[in-house]
Structure 1
Amino acid sequence: MSAPVRTALRLSSWALSATLLWAGASQAQVSLSPLKIEVKTNRGQAQGVINITNTSNETFRARVYAESFTYNRDKGFESLPSSPSDLRPYLQFSPRELVVPPGTTRRVRLNARLAPSLPSGEYRSMIFTEPLKPNTVKNGNGITTNIITRVGSAFFVRKGDVRPNLMVDSVRWNAEAKKIQLLVRNSGKASAYTSIKWTLKQGGTIVKSGESPDTGIVPDGDRNLILNQSKKDELALSPGTYQLSGELLWGEDNDKSKLPFKLDLTVPGGNSTTLPIRNRR
């Protein structure tokens, strides 16, 4: 009787890494770029190109496919069966399967055609690449797991004059995780990837400063952004009131939008998580 086989899907977020590793005889290493494509339509059309490079000494075979997606407030990336902003009905791309020999790069060409009757707005899909053959791992109990690791490039197509509009809503202290959570809303009609420069003070004394990496927020959506994500930004705050200030930054490098913010952060005694404290308007 054969041991049971389970299949697990592992998502490699574009926001975390541009390189995909999965176990094999020599651990094939593949990089994908760019990890985000934002284009405006021209006469109803928009194009993009994804480069897939094999930097290992093993041939890489993969399939390419698209999914509708959003960014959940707390969980981040979330696949959707469909949505009003789904780009897939208007998207063509090729190839859908590819073979990348060692040391070479292959291109996936994207072409979107939006019907004139479609309303202005943003249409998006995540273009995934995943190996045709999963990695098989067996544990000490003889249970075999097929692990499929995929990496995605976000493709955003904007019809009309649409843009993001970010605002800082509130801040809270998560005592259990020892994290500062900043709730940021996007009331605009286009997604934004925002980084955050922040400083935490108490009584005029700087407790901690840091910078959070780009995080995506979809139109009419919001995200709970963790400010102190890295090991070096770990915090052990004593009960009391702190002052959090900083700025959101999003957009192209040569045309950054900036939004300053300033909020009070209350850390209660015990292990209680604070209620959100709204931004000072």
Structure 2
Amino acid sequence: MKIPSKQLILYSLSSMFLSTFLLWGNAAKADIAISPLVIEANEKRGQAQGTITVTNRDAKEFRARVYSLPFTYDVETGFQLVDSSPLDLTPYLQFSPRELQVPGTDNRRIRFIARFPPSLPDGEYRAMLFTENLEATIQEEQGANSSVIFKTAIVPRVGVAVYVRKGNVSHNLSVVNARYNPKSQQLQLLVKNTGKASAILQGEWNIKKGDKQIYSGRGMDTTVITQGERYLAVDYSSAAKKIQLEPGEYQLSGSLGWGVNRTNKIPFSVKFIVP
């Protein structure tokens, strides 16, 4: 099942639902924060461990269950949960507590440890560690017919992406191409990772048409998983300045930053066509 990012879990009365790993939207009643959002760890002597902090910013007590699920990133749609994966961390992941109560304006910690058998092949193993509210909030919405009211039970959850690397593994990144969608006016850069470790990248963008500089800026952090490809969004407009790309050939250049503070740089330069 593909899971769109940055939405709420919505369990409707007809049992239809959408889910993701981050709280988002005005419908969320519980003001819950979790940190860090991403954990990258290296296995040492067969194990790796870490700590997650769950903070309740509301005055009301927050009760939640904790569980883990395998996930991946689709080249087009991004984050999605999966039923199984050869790189699933969940069989080796232990965490405590499995249920927690966080008093109002307080926080609690979740401790986890990953234990790998010696026979497990070297590589990167990953899982989402979710904290899900045990109490649903009922939200009413009026349909097109004013006499019809839809009720939806909103169950927010937040999650942390946990990556544990066994052995001496690293990413191997290359830029494939850039594409422009005239309908959505979206520019994307396709990045391929043939290595055995995922990489969190931040793009630095320069767009030129001939000798004319059109745009210069930075993008958001985006994960390109091991043995995968991912389209990175090149957002060349801002709230203060709307840029229209006229038909013609352009050059997109810059670098992909990774590592601590994204100080390691991979330069690139590709061309794309605006029809």
TM over 0.5: yes
Structure 2, gaps ≥5 residues long: 1-11, 143-147
Corresponding residue for residue 173 of structure 1: 180
Corresponding residue for residue 248 of structure 1: 256
TM-score (norm 1): 0.86
Equivalent position amino acid for 1:225 in 2: L
Superposed counterparts of 1:1-281, under 5 Å: 5-13=14-22, 23=27, 27-140=29-142, 141-228=148-235, 231-232=238-239, 234-253=242-261, 256-268=263-275
Equivalent position amino acid for 1:241 in 2: E
Structure 1, gaps ≥5 residues long: 14-18, 269-281
Q: How far does residue 164 in structure 1 lie from its aligned partner after superposition?
A: 1.1
Identity %: 45
Q: How far does residue 201 in structure 1 lie from its aligned partner after superposition?
A: 0.9
Corresponding residue for residue 4 of structure 2: none
Q: Measure the CA separation in 2 of the matches of 1:136 and 1:7.
A: 15
Q: Measure the CA separation in 2 of the matches of 1:91 and 1:127.
A: 10
Q: How far does residue 100 in structure 1 lie from its aligned partner after superposition?
A: 0.3
Q: How far does residue 142 in structure 1 lie from its aligned partner after superposition?
A: 2.2
Q: How far does residue 235 in structure 1 lie from its aligned partner after superposition?
A: 3.6
Task: Check whether the contact 1:138–1:144 (CA below 8 A) recurs between aligned residues.
Answer: yes
Q: How far does residue 148 in structure 1 lie from its aligned partner after superposition?
A: 2.0
Q: How far does residue 8 in structure 1 lie from its aligned partner after superposition?
A: 3.1
Q: How far does residue 221 in structure 1 lie from its aligned partner after superposition?
A: 0.2
Q: Measure the CA separation in 2 of the matches of 1:200 and 1:66.
A: 41
Equivalent position amino acid for 2:230 in 1: R
| 145-154 or 61-70, larger mean C-alpha shift | 145-154
Q: How far does residue 220 in structure 1 lie from its aligned partner after superposition?
A: 0.7
Q: Measure the CA separation in 1 of the matches of 2:83 and 2:18.
A: 17
Q: Measure the CA separation in 2 of the matches of 1:263 and 1:125.
A: 34
Q: Is the partner of 2:91 in helix, strand or coil?
A: helix
Q: Measure the CA separation in 1 of the matches of 2:238 and 2:81.
A: 29
Task: Check whether the contact 2:21–2:130 (CA below 8 A) recurs between aligned residues.
Answer: no
Equivalent position amino acid for 2:133 in 1: P
Equivalent position amino acid for 1:84 in 2: P
Could you say if the C-alpha distance between residues 21 and 63 of structure 1 is closer, same or farther in structure 2, counting changes exceeding 3 Å? farther
Q: Measure the CA separation in 1 of the matches of 2:15 and 2:152.
A: 5
Equivalent position amino acid for 1:239 in 2: P
Q: How far does residue 242 in structure 1 lie from its aligned partner after superposition?
A: 1.1
Task: Check whether the contact 1:22–1:28 (CA below 8 A) recurs between aligned residues.
Answer: no
Could you say if the C-alpha distance between residues 30 and 20 of structure 1 is closer, same or farther in structure 2, counting changes exceeding 3 Å? farther
Q: Measure the CA separation in 2 of the matches of 1:119 and 1:4.
A: 44
Q: Measure the CA separation in 2 of the matches of 1:9 and 1:239.
A: 38
